[in-house]
Structure 1
Amino acid sequence: MVTSLAPQQIGEYLRLLSSGIQVTITLTVVSGLLCIVVAVVAGVARLSNWRVIRTSAGIFIEFFRGTNAIVQLFWAFYSLPLLGIYLSPMSAAIIVLSLNAGAYGAEIVRGAIQAVPLGQREASMALNMKSTTMITRVILPQAYPAMVPPFTNLLIELLKTTPLVSLITISDMTFVGDTIRTRTGDNDTVFILLFVLYFALAICIAALGRMLERIPKYRRTPSTSRRQARVKHDLEVAP
């Protein structure tokens, strides 16, 4: 039976939850930003012409995708000190969450890059572009629209993974809510509040994703317009 949701009671619970909400948001934002960096680097490396780089990226991706996030958290926080490496609970959580999500994101980046027509790469090579220039100015801008929706889903999944950090002594939103529930015995109100708070945060991430989808696929400048014209001309005259 659901207890009555008195506004004063809800306000008190939200006040108690505020520290946990801040921790959850911090973990999601910082880990999400690092996750994107890791995903782009690993995804591009996965397509490298150098076997060592390609293999190393593949091992990294399969390791973090194939092992449990709880085990990774325990290993980073409790096992690394045995090797002389000490991480604070927040540092361990951010590193593990960003690497774990980044491994999944790397496959998103790889798939989006491979979806770019091969002619774009060939035209860039014909124009004697450097590899870094080709990736940053030609390939990634065209792969960007295909990356945004799955990355939005990945960040929402990252948000829902944050409660695991309570296992390494971090008081996130779920942990604080469970503490309130234990002290007050008010299961219904606390869990309804947690449900609404997580839903609200997920909606914010989804709204951000939709906003990013509306960003122009390619920012045109005079230099890039001339380059695109040259690429188009080379494709038209190619046998």
Structure 2
Amino acid sequence: MGIRTLIVMLVASILLIAYLATRDTYSLFLPGLLQGAALTAQITVLGCLLAVAMAILSALGKLYGPTPIRWLANLYIEIFRGTSALVQLFWLFFVLPQFGVSLDPFAVAVLGLGLNIGAYGAECVRGAIQSVARGQWEAATALNMTRIQMLRRIILPQAFIAMIPPWGNLFIELLKSTALVSLITLSDLAFKAQQMNQTTMKTIPIFTLVLLIYLVLSLLITIGMRLLEQRAAKGLARGRTA
């Protein structure tokens, strides 16, 4: 699906929300849901930043680190990929205090979801790096570059383009996973919707708005990643012709 189509869908979704906001049945719930959506967006953005950082560090550690670093990188990836995100959130929020480490619910949400998605992202980063043609490594070696120089100047710029599509999917997965943070006392979008539904039983208007808000957020992520992919591809093309 092209960017123009995605933008049309985004605008249509926003206009539909604006229209529903003029209806009494829906306008009653929209302000509270938007408050929850703001918290959801904050967790998503910070969680994505943590996920990218952890993915890059763990992928590089797994590929090129000394044995202890490789062992730690593999341990992190397998633990966070092999267990439920919900269990990880519960463990960070309810179990860590038993060891004297108490974290704010917001910090737990960012940390738990960021580490979870980062473990999946590490494999995306590893695969993208290894997909770069062997000739690129050989050319960099012929130029007497160090491994850090190879990665920074030759390999990672090419691998970056291959990483973008799967990272877009992972960011959307993180967005949807934020619904789990309502179980650790955070008033995110899902929590607000559940509260409103329990007190008013107006299921249709509440969850129609929730669906549209999640759609808007996911479309913003998709459009942003598509634009980033296009810009990165143009930059790489200019570099090859320079």
How many correspondences in the alignment? 221
Deviation digits for residues 105-161 of structure 1, max 9, x if unmatched?
A: 000000000000112112212222122221111111001111100000000010000
* Closer/same/farther in 2, CA of residues 73 and 184 from structure 1, 3 Å limit: same
* Residue 112 of structure 2 is aligned to residue 93 of structure 1: no
1:107 alignment partner AA: E
1:41, 1:47 → 2: CA distance? 10
Match of 2:52 among 27, 36, 39: 36
Q: What's the TM-score, normalizing by structure 1?
A: 0.87
Match of 1:181 in 2: 197
* Closer/same/farther in 2, CA of residues 18 and 49 from structure 1, 3 Å limit: closer
Match of 1:77 in 2: 93
Q: What's the TM-score, normalizing by structure 2?
A: 0.86
Residues 74-223 of structure 1 aligned to structure 2 (within 5 Å)? 74-217=90-233, 219=235
The worse-fitting range, judged by mean Cα deviation, of 42-51 and 19-28 is: 42-51
Preserved CA contact (<8 Å) 1:20 1:171: yes
Deviation digits for residues 7-31 of structure 1, max 9, x if unmatched?
A: 1332221112122111100011110
Instruction: Give the helix-richer structure, 1 or 2.
Output: 2
Q: Percent identity at matched positions?
A: 43
* Closer/same/farther in 2, CA of residues 205 and 141 from structure 1, 3 Å limit: same
2:61 alignment partner AA: A
* Closer/same/farther in 2, CA of residues 42 and 49 from structure 1, 3 Å limit: closer
The worse-fitting range, judged by mean Cα deviation, of 128-137 and 95-104 is: 128-137
- Where structure 2 has 5 or more consecutive residues not aligned to the other structure, the ranges are 1-19
Deviation at 1:56, TM superposition (A): 1.6
Structure with the bigger RCO (C-alpha within 8 Å, sep 6+) is 2
1:218, 1:86 → 2: CA distance? 46
Secondary structure of 2:29's aligned partner: helix
2:65, 2:119 → 1: CA distance? 20
1:70, 1:57 → 2: CA distance? 22
Match of 2:81 in 1: 65
Secondary structure of 1:161's aligned partner: helix
Secondary structure of 1:216's aligned partner: helix
1:173, 1:216 → 2: CA distance? 33
* Residue 26 of structure 2 is aligned to residue 10 of structure 1: yes
2:141, 2:124 → 1: CA distance? 24
Deviation at 1:53, TM superposition (A): 1.9
* Residue 65 of structure 2 is aligned to residue 52 of structure 1: no
Preserved CA contact (<8 Å) 1:20 1:176: yes
2:200 alignment partner AA: T
Preserved CA contact (<8 Å) 2:175 2:218: yes
Secondary structure of 2:232's aligned partner: coil
